[in-house]
Chains A and B, each alone.
Chain A
């Protein structure tokens, strides 16, 4: 079945460590996104990529980095510069063929900094 796979589902990290969250999609979608979710704050856009080898900052990009070397993959690195990294992270994808801005989401990754 087509979909978006995020891993790991749960991740613990010590302060000062970088951590990378994986996002893979087999929907053949051009665009991919990373959102951060905190209680009571809805979803906030971290980074997005519309094509391979290109990506743009979202509303809260500081302390995060991404790469888009393959169409199906869009990993997110949470760096030690992110001051409050504990959150639920959601990856999504979209394609013009599906109506434009309709997003398809993965199951999420919960990061906890100890």
Chain B
């Protein structure tokens, strides 16, 4: 079965501390992987994506993610968190080629930032 698991429902970090949000997936074909961020009451914004090439990808707002095929993981990281990073983060997996755009989303990780 195709699925995305974000093990941490809620994470709290101090401002300036490093961050890692976990994402594991189960997918039958070569996956196209995404991280999205959502502020309260807003839509989702793409942070970064990966489908081939360098397994460490850089995104917007200083985020990066590393694809590890052997672990079926695509963890999101940021070296130093800012208060404005408080939001909900969603990992998603989908087909490389447009086959209905049926992305599968994880349940999300809510990030709180302590001053």
Contacts and interface: CB of A to CB of B under 8 A. Distances in A.
Interface of A: 4, 6, 31, 33, 40-43, 45, 48, 50, 56, 58, 88, 90, 92, 94, 96, 99-108, 110
A105 B43 contact: yes
29 contacts: A4-B43, A6-B43, A31-B98, A40-B9, A41-B107, A42-B107, A42-B108, A43-B90, A48-B102, A50-B101, A56-B100, A58-B102, A90-B44, A99-B51, A100-B97, A101-B32, A101-B94, A101-B101, A101-B102, A102-B32, A103-B44, A103-B46, A103-B103, A105-B36, A105-B44, A105-B45, A107-B42, A108-B42, A110-B41
B74 interface: no
Contacts of B49: 99, 102
Sorted nearest first, the 10 A-B pairs with minimum C-beta distance are A105-B43, A101-B94, A100-B98, A42-B107, A42-B105, A43-B105, A105-B44, A94-B101, A107-B43, A101-B101
Interface residues on B, range: 20 to 34
B101 A100 contact: yes
Contacts, number: 73
A94 B34 CA distance: 14
A100 B31 CA distance: 12
